């Protein structure tokens, strides 16, 4: 009887909490540096969720550890819907790549909603003596271990895209992990590193401006953002495909009515025709799922990357 009474009290409290939610500002933690897709789209979402939620939505960047630092902070926060995580496929990769993290993704965090996905773009500093992907591969093969590529940290989509490229292209290039995507971009633009896979949404302007050379997009089909640029698979690495996707999670134990409310508000934003059109011009495609569908999506992606990591022998540097 005591157990039943305790459960009923907990359920009543959760329902009461959900009915008054939100009653204060909400924070979306971005476990990556400023200026990258997670940061950009977290701010986009937050600015459009404030009015229907009736509360400010604040974005806080907490990079470090390949997303582990900020993600762990959210996992350890109160499960009340006021601290959310903007996550990406970095998180599903890290379930295999960093098994000793202080949290387990689907044990300590609850799926809320996906946001979008976009292709990556392989960019090379102008100082590299190659004019296309085949020439780059030939150059890398002639200098094993001498060329390098940047990423925003271990396990991030940029890291995994580079490792997949190394495996399929048969090249030996050195991974240079930065603490965040902003640092990696400074590195490639300044010539401290020679190449990088980055989100097309943030790197295409640098290619158009001639600051970097673009050698291929990472999706199955060409991107509408750079329609004249071939995919990496077309340009010389058959079978290559890598993307970056984003989603929102909350601490495990967050009441389901709050999860459902957040899912509904995020889905309203991503479902707007003008949002889809604007994101499409940037190279991003909106995603829409229920929390349950997003949970399956996450589990499938964890399994997918576990196989890729094992088959390619990918390890942390």
Q: What is the pLDDT of residue 33?
A: 86
Q: What is the pLDDT of residue 300?
A: 94
Q: What is the pLDDT of residue 62?
A: 95
Tell me yes or no: is domain 119-235 CATH 3.40.190.10: yes
* DSSP result, 280-292: HHHTEEE----HH
Q: What is the pLDDT of residue 9?
A: 55
What CATH code would you report for 18-117+244-312? Answer: 3.40.190.150
Q: What is the pLDDT of residue 290?
A: 98
Q: What is the pLDDT of residue 64?
A: 85
CA dist., res. 77 & res. 193, Å (int): 37
CA torsion, ordered 80, 263, 36, 83, to nearest 10 deg: 0
Q: CA nearest 62: which of 30, 24, 34?
A: 30
User: How many C-beta neighbours within 10 Å does residue 98 have?
Assistant: 17
Q: What are phi and psi of 284, to 5 degrees?
A: -110, 145
Q: What are phi and psi of 311, to 5 degrees?
A: -65, -40
- Ranges of the chain with pLDDT below 70: 1-18, 317
Q: Where are the domains of the chain?
A: 18-117+244-312, 119-235
Q: CA nearest 301: which of 223, 231, 251, 246?
A: 246
Paired with 248 in beta bridges are 86, 113
One fold for 18-117+244-312 and 119-235:
yes
| pLDDT 10s digits, 161-176 | 999 899 899 999 999 9
């Amino acid at each position: 009887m005591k157990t039943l009474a305790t459960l009923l009290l907990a359920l009543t409290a959760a329902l009461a909490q959900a009915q008054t939610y939100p009653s204060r500002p909400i924070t979306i933690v971005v476990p990556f540096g400023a200026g990258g897709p997670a940061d950009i789209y977290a701010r986009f979402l937050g600015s459009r969720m404030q009015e229907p939620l009736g509360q400010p939505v604040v974005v806080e960047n907490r990079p470090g550890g390949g997303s582990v630092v900020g993600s762990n902070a959210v996992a350890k926060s109160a499960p009340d819907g006021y601290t959310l995580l903007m996550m990406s496929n970095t998180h599903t990769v890290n379930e295999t790549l960093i098994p000793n993290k202080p949290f387990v993704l689907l044990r300590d965090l609850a799926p809320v909603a996906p946001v979008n996905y976009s292709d990556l773009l392989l960019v090379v500093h102008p100082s590299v003596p190659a004019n296309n992907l085949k020439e780059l591969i030939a150059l890398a093969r002639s200098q094993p271990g001498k060329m390098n590529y940047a990423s925003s940290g271990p396990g991030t989509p940029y890291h995994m895209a580079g490792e997949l490229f190394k495996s399929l292209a048969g090249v030996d290039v050195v991974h240079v992990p930065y603490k965040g995507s902003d640092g990696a971009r400074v590195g490639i633009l300044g010539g401290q590193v020679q190449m990088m896979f980055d989100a097309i949404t943030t790197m295409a302007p640098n290619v158009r401006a001639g600051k970097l050379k673009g050698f291929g997009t990472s999706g199955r089909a060409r991107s509408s953002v750079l329609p004249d640029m071939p995919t990496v698979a077309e340009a010389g690495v058959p079978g290559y495909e890598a993307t970056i996707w984003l989603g929102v999670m909350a601490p495990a134990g967050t009441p389901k009515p709050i999860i459902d409310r957040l899912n509904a508000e995020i889905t309203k934003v991503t479902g707007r025709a003008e949002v889809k059109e604007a994101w499409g011009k940037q190279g991003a495609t909106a995603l829409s799922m229920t929390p349950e569908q997003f949970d399956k999506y996450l589990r499938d992606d964890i399994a997918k990357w576990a196989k890729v990591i094992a088959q390619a022998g990918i390890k942390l540097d």
